[in-house]
Amino acid sequence: MSGFTLRRAEVKDASRIAHVHVRAWQETYRGLMPDSVLDTLSVERRMKQWEQILEGTANLYHLVFVAEADGQVVGFANYGKEREGDPDYQGELFAIYILKEFQGQGIGRALVQKAALGLLEMDISSMLVWVLSNNPYRKFYERLNGQYLREKSIQIGDSVLQEAAYGWRDVRILLGQG
């Protein structure tokens, strides 16, 4: 598909990223996460968080690619150094969200490839991702040959939820070079 373009996010994208972030959470997690969490999400608050994140290159989460289609930001991928000191996986895909009406066009795969390339530029060649265990979209990572690693519990609002990790020992496999 060629109806989209990808580029690195800038601080001025904070509000557009926040908009996608909040909408995608509400579209994806209804029924998987407490309604109280989803109903109190605020684009304004997320925008301020994204502004702060994108402003500081020292911030762990500052590396973001956005996807644009129809003249708007329709998705993003956030990646960087793995957060918890995993011995085998040095890179992490922190988040990837695409608005529902733009899914299934290859944007997700292209964003993951961009993140993989971004990690390789940092001399990082492995990557993991955490996904809610009950999120049916985890099949996307299986389709991209992610290896199932393990589960952990996380607290979201008042609920304790399960997350599953998928990993790529060599992200070049995502680029057809593995």
Which residues here bind ligand COA, judged by CB under 6 A?
Answer: 24, 28, 96-98, 103-109, 131, 135-137, 139-140, 143
State the angle between helix axes of 43-55 and 14-29 in degrees (0 to 180), rounded to the nearest 10. Answer: 130
Q: What does the CA dihedral 114, 116, 121, 123 come to, rounded to 10 degrees?
A: 170
Q: Which of 11/154 has CB closer to ligand COA?
A: 154
Given a contact cutoff of 8 angstroms between Cβ atoms, the answer to whether 29 and 132 are in contact is yes
Residue 14, judged by CB atoms within 10 A of its CB (0-12, 13-18, 19+), counts as buried
Q: How far is the CB of 55 from ligand COA (least distance, A)?
A: 24
Q: Which of 140/168 has CB closer to ligand COA?
A: 140
Polymer length of the chain: 178
Q: How far is the CB of 103 from ligand COA (least distance, A)?
A: 3
Q: How far is the CB of 10 from ligand COA (least distance, A)?
A: 21
Cα-trace Rg, the chain: 16
Given a contact cutoff of 8 angstroms between Cβ atoms, the answer to whether 46 and 76 are in contact is no
Residue sitting closest to ligand COA (CB): 108
Q: Which of 110/124 has CB closer to ligand COA?
A: 110
Q: Which of 108/124 has CB closer to ligand COA?
A: 108
Q: How far is the CB of 57 from ligand COA (least distance, A)?
A: 24
